[in-house]
Amino acid sequence: MLICPLLSIAQTKNNLPQQFAVIAEAAKGKVGVSVQVLETGQRMGYNSIRQFPMQSVYKFPIAMAVLQQVDQGKLQLQQPVKVLPSDYIPRPGHSPLRDEHPAGNVDVTVAELLRYNVAESDGSACDVLLRLIGGTKAADRYVHSLGIKDMSIALTEKVQVPNEPMQYQNWCTPDAMNALFKKFYTGHVLSDSSFHFLLDLLVNSGPGARRLKAQLPAGTVVAHKTGTSGTENGLTRATNDAGIITLPNGQHMVISVFIRDSYADQQTREKTIADIAKAAWDHFVP
């Protein structure tokens, strides 16, 4: 009499993609998930090879491309950059840099631009960084040079923000974003100083408190980057969170959760991401 319940619990725990599918129904859209434990190679996915718009998650690979040029000596972290009024993205695009210096013509270091870009998800800072490294094509080439093929960095924030349907041109698969985070964390593609600088920005990123880390134990280290589109006529084209979660045993779970073309409200979309992260946590944490 006791065996059946135990088997049922084991089957549920082992069928993580099925759990993802059930959780995803609440989003009223398309959900993609990729999960991998770096130290063991264990992988799970759900719609993990489908294309999803990245929105601001693409600021992570852009930051990597900038730091590669820092490592090559083409840029310096303390190098001042003149931010012009023409660099600012239009409202309602998110840009603390624009809001703090509305007149523009302010000098901001590369390091501070990276902080705005990653930790505050600033669209204007992102575009200034793209300008410094040679545009979206340079960032796209860098990502592809790392062997990450299912990812496209095509548009600046200035183009993307006022043209919602165009955001699909900045896309990736959940598996590809996971592969990039794995390359970043284990592939030694950046110098130690650049790696730790970016990792700190990801860990201290402000947005996304209700997403990947919302249901994880207090104090869990989550290095992540969110992405969110606007909502038009009830349609939200992108609600995303991707990153690296440190497990209690010291191992690391890379997870990317993307929601596209959703008609659910923001609370539901964010809870969907949180529920998926918690299901993955429960699966891999004894």
Question: Looking at residues 101-121, what average pLDDT do you find?
Answer: 97
Q: What is the pLDDT of residues 234-283, one digit of tens each?
A: 999 999 999 999 999 999 999 999 999 999 999 999 999 999 999 999 99
Question: Looking at residues 93-106, what average pLDDT do you find?
Answer: 97
Catalytic pick among 95, 124, 152, 157? 157
- Examine the pLDDT at 118 and tell me if it is beyond 90: yes
Question: Looking at residues 82-97, what average pLDDT do you find?
Answer: 96
- Examine the pLDDT at 76 and tell me if it is beyond 50: yes
Domain ranges, ordered by start, for the chain: 16-284
- How many other C-beta atoms can be found within 10 angstroms of the C-beta atom of residue 223? 24
Q: Is 284 in contact with 37 (CB distance < 8 Å)? A: yes
Catalytic pick among 48, 56, 205, 262? 56
Query: Partners of 109 in the beta sheet?
Result: 80
Widest CA span of the chain, in angstroms? 74
Q: What is the pLDDT of residues 42-71, one digit of tens each?
A: 999 999 999 999 999 999 999 999 999 999
Question: Looking at residues 208-217, what average pLDDT do you find?
Answer: 97
Residue 157 annotated in active site: yes
| Residues listed for the chain | 286
Question: Which residues, 6+ apart, have CB-to-CB distance to 3 below 8 Å?
Answer: none
- CA atoms of 168 and 255, how far apart (whole Å): 21
- Per-residue pLDDT, 135: 98
Residue 229 annotated in active site: no
Alpha-helix residue ranges (DSSP H) falling in the chain? 3-14, 16-24, 59-71, 96-100, 110-119, 123-133, 136-145, 157-160, 174-186, 192-203, 266-284
- Per-residue pLDDT, 3: 43
DSSP 207: S
Question: Which residues, 6+ apart, have CB-to-CB distance to 149 below 8 Å?
Answer: 176
Q: Architecture of domain 16-284 in CATH?
A: 3-Layer(aba) Sandwich (3.40)
**Per the confidence metrics, is the pTM higher than 0.85?**
yes
Q: What is the mean pLDDT of the chain?
A: 95
- How many other C-beta atoms can be found within 10 angstroms of the C-beta atom of residue 242? 29
- Per-residue pLDDT, 286: 82
- Per-residue pLDDT, 14: 64
